[in-house]
Chains A and B, each alone.
Chain A
Amino acid sequence: MVSFWSGYALPTIIIILEVLAIIIPLLVAVAYLTYAERKVMAAMQLRQGPNIVGPFGLLQPMADGLKLLTKETIIPAGSNRALFLAAPMVTFLLSLVAWAVIPFGAGLVLSNINVGVLYLFAVSSLGVYGIIIAGWASNSKYAFLGGLRSAAQMVSYEVSIGLVIVSVLLCAGSLNLSRIVEAQHTIWFAVPLFPMFIVFFISGLAETNRAPFDLPEGESELVGGYNVEYSAMTFALFFLGEYANMILMSALTTILFLGGWLPPLGIPPLTWIPGPIWFFAKIAACLFVFIWVRATMPRYRYDQLMRLGWKIFLPFSLIWVLVTAGVLETFGWLPK
């Protein structure tokens, strides 16, 4: 009985607590990301933004969440019921499981697996299913078109993301996320791999279906895209998933290019600030750029989006991988 307690029950409880310690702050962060988005965009467009509910409108996300919770979930008569309900769950679930391998600080990670980068890549490549199944199961033209667009877009940009990750891995010499961060001790990879950093960030915008690549939901032509038929909690799950994916993409950018939890320079006043704070600050900076782009850029046309992905990013990142490998090999800088 004692061995059962210390061998199985206790670790299970600890793991569940750790998972909750990640997921609950994440959901709060998602709620306040929507608030931040509205406030920042309002400031950029000389508006007030939400300012009625609570001080400075701080309770607005809670009010929105409550509204979605109390609404009625409508399932269209012609829809495929099981898949219709499964799609938002899959989207939400995938946006949460990815956080299992994210290192928040030195040794501060739920599951420090050897193939962390591949795990994240796998999870992000599964994200397309929620959307394409939602589009199909709704049994609606607009939703289906939105789903197809999104699937094509995510598959296309995944290719260039893969190549960018390869060039980072060449420099880091490991698939483990903590090791990748530690490899940036001397210099952040954003400096030597600057073009890749830009490609990764833009591909990240496309991968998360954010402006200027938010064609899957292009409301002016598709009335809202793959989630037209969704309401209440099912819609909320898509919404949460999308914003959690934004935070995840920012975290990934931070880990791969901006040195994760490391301070910009290893000198005292900067090293006094604990690692997780640096990590969150960098994520916040990336998220700000996400919002900034949305407030600034017009939406891409679909053929231009495909052209950018396949004819510009793919050859460019492929060549850059070769250049990186060649330079590392020539100068003997390949990590052991």
Chain B
Amino acid sequence: MIVQALAFYLFSAIMVASAVMVIASRNPVHSVVFLITAFFNAAGLLLLIGAEFVAMILIIVYIGAVAVLFLFVVMMLDVDFGQLRKGASQYLPLGGAVGLVLLAELLLVLGGWVVAPSAGTLALAPTPAVEQMSNTVALGHVLYTHYFYVFQASGVVLLIAMIGAIVLTLRERQGVRRQRIEGQVSRRRDEVVAVTKVRVGEGV
């Protein structure tokens, strides 16, 4: 038990520290690297509570895909972040208010468990014991039986968002020479090669 506790404090300390460094570091690439560290430690925390599937998905999706794109963009952009940050303190009240609202909501949700423990029983599907099924199986059961339509609908929403992003950034450019592979493959010798007899001193 003591090892778990030590691991918990290790992960959470590193996570909080790197989360602070994300906004404190001057170099944007360093910020993204600290963000990745924060994600990693969040995955570690999830592993500690036995949510192995969610932990792995967190790493695959957020670190393996989202943060790579972040890093990509931040490396390519030539933005002077010092310049951007100059007037940042005027947004402090607004940012603080958003943070407070989120904190209040979190407290409401988590506080519900403490104040009224019976609230947990209102869930559509009860959580099966860990011994009965692994949490991958349990998640599959919950998502694909009780919340099937909601799950599908969220998939459709994501699909639409993706198509929307593509449509917004798609532009036809004139005069681009594209490779047409089927055209190249279906070319026949007769169409492109002609044998001509060239007389001396005349040329083709």
Contacts and interface: CB of A to CB of B under 8 A. Distances in A.
Interface of A: 8, 80, 83, 113-115, 118-119, 121-122, 125-126, 128-129, 132-133, 136, 144, 148, 151, 155, 158, 175, 303-304, 307
A136 B33 CA distance: 12
A114 B136 contact: yes
A129 B57 CA distance: 17
B29 A158 contact: no
Contacts of B71: 129, 132-133, 151
B29 A115 contact: no
Given A115-B136, A148-B72, A158-B64, A83 B56 contact: no
Contacts of A126: 59, 63-64
- B contact patch SS: helix
A158 B63 CA distance: 13
A278 B136 CA distance: 30
A148 B74 CA distance: 12
Interface of B: 3, 27, 29-30, 33, 36, 52-53, 56-57, 59-60, 63-65, 68, 71-72, 75-76, 134-136, 179, 181
- A contact patch SS: helix
Contacts of B179: 303-304
B57 A118 contact: yes
A145 B134 CA distance: 43
Contacts of A175: 53, 136
A118 B56 contact: yes
28 contacts: A8-B3, A83-B29, A114-B52, A114-B134, A114-B135, A115-B52, A115-B136, A118-B53, A121-B60, A122-B63, A125-B60, A125-B63, A125-B64, A126-B63, A129-B36, A129-B71, A132-B68, A132-B71, A132-B72, A132-B75, A133-B71, A136-B29, A144-B75, A155-B65, A158-B64, A158-B65, A175-B136, A304-B179
